[in-house]
Amino acid sequence: MGGMKREESLPPGAAPAMESPPPATAPLMVSPVVAGFPSPAEQYVERPLDLNDLLVARPAATYFVRAQGDSMVGAGVQDGDLLVVDRSLEPEDGSMVIACVDGEFTVKTYRHDRRGVRLEAANPAYPPIRFAGEMELRVFGVVTAVVHRLVPAVRPERGSQVASRKSDL
């Protein structure tokens, strides 16, 4: 096997996180929402929640890249989702990584055990990528978060017309 290398550069199409981004704030409710039977709990605003504070631990080592395809749907990654990636993290068994395998970029689950290193999809339609011979694996970072829209963005464009595009995420 050609081995695994950690890359410090960004993959094509990736956008770096800003060192001092403007706050991306929204109100944070004091009481959590129950994912079951509704509760009559109070719904008071605690403080603004900055999405950069929530999603970006190391701005200098973080970048964003959009997922394409359906190989990771079982892990909650849909086509078009925004992935938050930290280049400073070392992949561990079970980490979701951005990798380059023989010149092709992919997002997969990194597996390392007694059988060696492999990349696994979270969709049974895709076989694992096992490394043999001179195959080279370059890891461009560990995925730390997935931003997934449930409703397409709706933004006014040109006067009163409204557009709805998944690409507006």
| Predicted model pTM | 0.70
Q: What is the pLDDT of residue 135?
A: 85
3-18+58-168 under CATH 2.10.109.10, yes or no: yes
Annotated catalytic residues are 71, 108
User: E strands of the chain, at which residues?
Assistant: 3-6, 15-16, 25-29, 45-50, 62-66, 82-86, 96-101, 104-113, 116-120, 129-130, 136-147, 153-157, 161-165
Q: What is the pLDDT of residue 133?
A: 79
Q: What is the pLDDT of residue 139?
A: 95
10-51 pLDDT tens trace: 777 676 766 666 666 555 555 566 666 655 555 555 677 788
- Residues lower than pLDDT 70 in the chain: 1-8, 13, 15, 17-46, 156-169
* Domain range list for the chain: 3-18+58-168, 22-55
Residues contacting residue 118 through CB under 8 Å, at least 6 positions apart: 111, 128, 129, 130, 131
